[in-house]
Amino acid sequence: MTITIKDIARIANVSTATVSRVLNEAGGYNEETKKKIMNVAHELGYRRNENARSLVQNSSNIIGVIMPNVATIFYGDIVNGIENIAHEKGYSIIISHAGVNGERFVQSVNLMGERKVDGLVIVTVELDRNQLDLVKSLRIPFILLSTDTPEKDAPFIKVNDFDAAYAATQYLIENGHERIGLAGANPTDRVAGITRIEGYKKALQDNGLPFEKKLVKYGDFSFNSGKEAMESFLQEKTELSAVFGVSDDVALGIISVAYNHGINVPADLSVIGYDNTRVAEMSIPPLTSIGQPFFEMGSEGCKIVIEATQNKKEIPSRIIPFHLVERKSVKKINE
Amino acid sequence: MTITIKDIARIANVSTATVSRVLNEAGGYNEETKKKIMNVAHELGYRRNENARSLVQNSSNIIGVIMPNVATIFYGDIVNGIENIAHEKGYSIIISHAGVNGERFVQSVNLMGERKVDGLVIVTVELDRNQLDLVKSLRIPFILLSTDTPEKDAPFIKVNDFDAAYAATQYLIENGHERIGLAGANPTDRVAGITRIEGYKKALQDNGLPFEKKLVKYGDFSFNSGKEAMESFLQEKTELSAVFGVSDDVALGIISVAYNHGINVPADLSVIGYDNTRVAEMSIPPLTSIGQPFFEMGSEGCKIVIEATQNKKEIPSRIIPFHLVERKSVKKINE
DNA sequence: CTGTTAGCGCGTTCAC
DNA sequence: GTGAACGCGCTAACAG
């Protein structure tokens, strides 16, 4: 049914070896026979079988991508970056969702093992010891994107959340704010929760500002978290002139509730977000936010993994720079 | 290096055939030998080679997904839906981006052909005659999501854009609006542009409302389109009490400019969006919008394709219902 | 219940 | 420059 190099060989009156050589541009054949073979292949609508190829070459030219199933906003950008490079390098990507809490992670890894992917990009999911060992058992290059491991014993690319949170807070302080709230961070999240809380604290401390418990409202990085945080602030009549939302969603939640209470942003309250997702520029007012280079993370991560499959070198971890995108949600008090 | 069934067979003192039978639970073997084999397999950390399997079974258990590379907001939901079902049915998904204007489409299809995917899900990309023929040349089940072909000669799942636009407009009319603008639609877009414009016109007409050229502003479904449209309305001093933005982004663009001009939504101007993306609930005010069931589109599409690979039945096209999600961006004048 | 054989489609020796 | 033969890891057919 399907056309194989056998068919081509038969019709072109050559051996399959020659067909293979021509198709792979391996050199060592007559231009005449090449033309003949190419013509036949074209006429027959031949398409090579990558599965068979993978089998004999012991390499699939596939990069596996594992991520939680949440359709996060930056999901798209990271995958875009990955796919982009993969395509450029002649690789395909196969995607598997590990589940919001990583409950399908083992299955995902096994899947990648069975498909014999050449490399692995793991997005966002936090790995414990066992899971990391499982990944390592694949004996293929891999990298973590936007996350890391407690002992930093696996290569990763991410921004420094502590520094970024510090910068966000510092920015508010520099603009004259002293009563600064923190909202939406999950204090049990080692990667994006604790770090950002600590960055916030440190910035306060370095500027001689007191840290007050009632200024921070925990949450899960969601829009709702932001709303709840703001409502708490209001209810507790907490005095504050600015809030650092640990995600754009949180920041929008804050702005939303503020609006409903007639509190104008940024006139009455300043808000800064985190992620610089596409909603940041669409919000009212446009949201000042800490930007993470998601697309670049994806492309860099994919690129380095592919390179590692070829040169067998160890993959270095990398801290990638964030950038603060100034928009209109923060009032400059001291100007 | 890698463990194969040969290794297992050798150590367990059986033939590879038996190992294969056990591993595939094909039945017809002693419980004793099964245990022995399973143990050995486990100890060796055996992982089957799906590529070899695909080769001999002439079926890869992979579903291909082709989409434009735009990281659209609904991208995530559709893919989630697809992956979800695929996983449930034991399939893997391999993703390829066709490029915003489909410039990489041919490569994507060829890729899928070479990987011998069992079925294909094509998201959003519009196909011309040649492209459709190429897809068909794969001779595998496929489906179009959120798009169709001019001659409806390929199976698709989408909402009826005409009806949806009609419903949006009708909703505004029912709430007492008579001067209704349309913004952001691309009049050369056969699938989502022309249809929505026509739906809007028809609703006007059916309600005895005049259609006025200056009430419609074309665009490309983007936030910027919305902003530009609203600015035009303002500049031309077009009198209107409501605007139908053909995407949530467009709607937010309108609201944004309105806000900057001190125009209150919905008090002074009502706005309805389209897509019901996650930004809809986060906007100020929360945006009333036409909802498309993206996740369901993905899961339904994937499901039906997988089924078709098994029962060889033809895939029927399907119009999937939209729903109007009422929030706070439309003023009910007649109440 | 189990082993032997063949072959999936392809790349790669090693001869000629 | 080209072909015959082998093997990648696995399943399927047939024998026993």
Collapsed DSSP state (helix, strand, coil) of residue A239: coil
Question: Any idea which residue has 């302080």 for tokens?
Answer: A173
Which two three-digit tokens encode residue A14?
A: 């050559």
- Nearest residue to C7, CA vs C1'? B56
Query: Which chain B residue has its CA at the smallest distance from A284's CA?
Result: B256
A87 touches chain B (CB under 8 A): yes
Distance separating alpha carbons of residues A73 and A80, to the nearest angstrom: 12
Collapsed DSSP state (helix, strand, coil) of residue B70: coil
Question: Any idea which residue has 């970024």 for tokens?
Answer: A164
CA angle B233, B194, B101 (to 5 degrees): 100
Helices (H) and strands (E) in chain A, counts: 13, 12
B264 touches chain A (CB under 8 A): no
- Identify the band that residue B313 occupies on the pLDDT scale cut at 50, 70 and 90: confident
pLDDT over 90 percentage in chain A? 90
Report whether the peptide linkage leading into residue B68 is cis, meaning its omega lies within 30 degrees of zero.
Answer: no
**A60 pLDDT above the threshold of 70:** yes
Question: Any idea which residue has 């509730």 for tokens?
Answer: A257
pLDDT over 90 percentage in chain B? 88
B54 touches chain A (CB under 8 A): yes
| Nucleotides of strand D within 7 Å of the protein's CB atoms | 1-5, 7-13
- At residue B221, φ and ψ (nearest 5 deg) are 70, 10
Q: Please name the member of A51, A77, A84 whose beta carbon is closest to the beta carbon of B116.
A: A51
**B105 pLDDT above the threshold of 90:** yes
Q: Establish how many alpha carbons lie within 13 A of residue B333's alpha carbon, considering only the half-sphere containing its beta carbon.
A: 14
- Nearest residue to D9, CA vs C1'? B52
Instruction: Pick the residue of B115, B227, B263, B296 with the most A CBs within 10 A to test the interface with A by mutation.
Output: B115
Do residue B255 and residue A284 have CB atoms under 8 angstroms apart? yes
> Comparing C-alpha atoms, which of B246, B326, B324 is closest to residue B285?
B326
Distance separating alpha carbons of residues B146 and B141, to the nearest angstrom: 17
**B55 pLDDT above the threshold of 80:** yes
CA of B14 to C1' of D8 (A): 21
A263 touches chain B (CB under 8 A): no
Query: How high is the pLDDT of residue B88?
Result: 95
Are the C-beta atoms of A272 and A330 separated by less than 8 Å?
yes
Provide residues 7-26 of B with CB closer than 7 Å to any strand C atom.
Answer: 13-18, 21
CA of B52 to C1' of D15 (A): 25
Distance separating alpha carbons of residues A305 and A133, to the nearest angstrom: 18
**B247 pLDDT above the threshold of 70:** yes
> Comparing C-alpha atoms, which of A229, A247, A250, A173 is closest to residue A205?
A173
Residue B10 burial by Cβ neighbours in a 10 Å radius (0-12, 13-18, 19+):
middle
Cβ A58 to strand C below 7 Å: no
Distance separating alpha carbons of residues B212 and A271, to the nearest angstrom: 42
- Identify the band that residue B75 occupies on the pLDDT scale cut at 50, 70 and 90: confident
Length of chain B: 335
Are the C-beta atoms of B71 and A80 separated by less than 8 Å?
yes
Query: How high is the pLDDT of residue B71?
Result: 62
H helix or E strand, kind and range, residue A12: helix A5-12
Distance separating alpha carbons of residues A108 and B108, to the nearest angstrom: 24
A94 touches chain B (CB under 8 A): yes
**A69 pLDDT above the threshold of 80:** no
Q: Give mean pLDDT, residues B276-285.
A: 93
Q: Give mean pLDDT, residues B88-110.
A: 94
Q: In A, which residues are within 8 Å of B111 by CB distance?
A: 92
**A215 pLDDT above the threshold of 90:** yes
Cβ A49 to strand D below 7 Å: no
CA-derived radius of gyration, chain B: 26
How does DSSP classify residue B214?
Answer: G
Cα distances (Å, whole numbers) of residue A258 to A68, A150, A228, A329: 32, 37, 11, 12
Distance separating alpha carbons of residues B290 and B282, to the nearest angstrom: 15
* Weakest-pLDDT range from A256-260, B74-78, B294-298: B74-78
CA of B105 to C1' of D10 (A): 33
- Identify the band that residue B27 occupies on the pLDDT scale cut at 50, 70 and 90: confident
CA of A13 to C1' of C5 (A): 29
The predicted-structure confidence for B80-89, as pLDDT tens digits, reads as follows 999 999 999 9
A89 touches chain B (CB under 8 A): no
Which two three-digit tokens encode residue B40?
A: 């050995």
The predicted-structure confidence for A279-329, as pLDDT tens digits, reads as follows 999 999 999 999 999 999 999 999 999 999 998 889 999 999 999 999 999
Where do the H-state alpha helices sit in chain B? 5-12, 16-23, 31-44, 50-57, 75-88, 105-114, 129-137, 161-174, 195-206, 223-235, 248-260, 278-282, 294-311
Question: Any idea which residue has 């006007």 for tokens?
Answer: B204
CA of B41 to C1' of C2 (A): 18
Collapsed DSSP state (helix, strand, coil) of residue A306: helix
Query: Which chain A residue has its CA at the smallest distance from B294's CA?
Result: A71
Is the pLDDT higher at B261 or at B27?
Answer: B261
Is the pLDDT higher at A68 or at A183?
Answer: A183
Query: How high is the pLDDT of residue B70?
Result: 65
Query: How high is the pLDDT of residue A72?
Result: 66
The predicted-structure confidence for A186-209, as pLDDT tens digits, reads as follows 999 999 999 999 999 999 999 999
Collapsed DSSP state (helix, strand, coil) of residue A25: coil
Are the C-beta atoms of A270 and A242 separated by less than 8 Å?
yes
Query: How high is the pLDDT of residue A177?
Result: 97
Cβ B30 to strand C below 7 Å: yes
> Comparing C-alpha atoms, which of A252, A175, A245 is closest to residue A216?
A245
Q: In A, which residues are within 8 Å of B137 by CB distance?
A: 45
Query: Which chain A residue has its CA at the smallest distance from B48's CA?
Result: A114
Are the C-beta atoms of A112 and A137 separated by less than 8 Å?
no
pLDDT over 70 percentage in chain A? 98
CA of A7 to C1' of C7 (A): 16
Which two three-digit tokens encode residue B165?
A: 């636009």
Which two three-digit tokens encode residue A132?
A: 């990391």
Cα distances (Å, whole numbers) of residue A271 to A37, A242, A285, B26, B323: 66, 6, 10, 62, 34
Chain A nearest-CA distance from B100, in A, is 12
Do residue A87 and residue B96 have CB atoms under 8 angstroms apart? yes
Provide residues 14-33 of B with CB closer than 7 Å to any strand D atom.
Answer: 16-17, 20, 23-24, 26
Mean pLDDT for all residues in chain B = 94
Are the C-beta atoms of B103 and B145 separated by less than 8 Å?
no
Cβ B114 to strand C below 7 Å: no
> Comparing C-alpha atoms, which of A110, A99, A102 is closest to residue A134?
A110
What beta strand segments (E) does A223-309 contain?
242-245, 270-275, 288-291
Chain CA centroid to CA A6, Å = 44
**B100 pLDDT above the threshold of 90:** no
Query: How high is the pLDDT of residue B104?
Result: 94
Interface A-B, measured as beta-carbon pairs within 8 A, has a size of: 134
Q: Give mean pLDDT, residues B244-248.
A: 97
Cβ A52 to strand D below 7 Å: yes
**Between residues 143 and 182 of chain B, which touch chain A (CB distance below 8 Å)?**
none
Q: Please name the member of B76, B113, B252 whose beta carbon is closest to the beta carbon of A71.
A: B76
Q: In A, which residues are within 8 Å of B69 by CB distance?
A: 80, 83-84
H helix or E strand, kind and range, residue A90: none
For residues A111, A115, A119 and A120, what is the CA-based torsion angle, rounded to 10 degrees?
-20
**Between residues 122 and 141 of chain A, which touch chain B (CB distance below 8 Å)?**
137
Query: How high is the pLDDT of residue A75?
Result: 76
The helix, strand and coil proportions of chain A, stated in percent and rounded to the nearest 5, come to 45, 15, 40
Sequence-distant (6+) residues with CB within 8 A of B136 are none
How does DSSP classify residue B160?
Answer: -
- At residue A249, φ and ψ (nearest 5 deg) are -60, -45
What is the side-by-side strand order in the sheet with A216-218?
Answer: A216-218, A180-185, A242-245, A270-275, A288-291, A323-325
Query: How high is the pLDDT of residue A158?
Result: 96
Distance separating alpha carbons of residues B186 and B197, to the nearest angstrom: 9
How does DSSP classify residue A192?
Answer: I
- Identify the band that residue A102 occupies on the pLDDT scale cut at 50, 70 and 90: confident
Query: How high is the pLDDT of residue A76?
Result: 83
Query: How high is the pLDDT of residue B101?
Result: 84
Question: Any idea which residue has 């035009």 for tokens?
Answer: B232
Q: Please name the member of A110, A114, A252 whose beta carbon is closest to the beta carbon of B282.
A: A252
The predicted-structure confidence for A166-189, as pLDDT tens digits, reads as follows 999 999 999 999 999 999 999 999
Query: How high is the pLDDT of residue A70?
Result: 65
Q: Please name the member of B47, B83, B252 whose beta carbon is closest to the beta carbon of A113.
A: B47
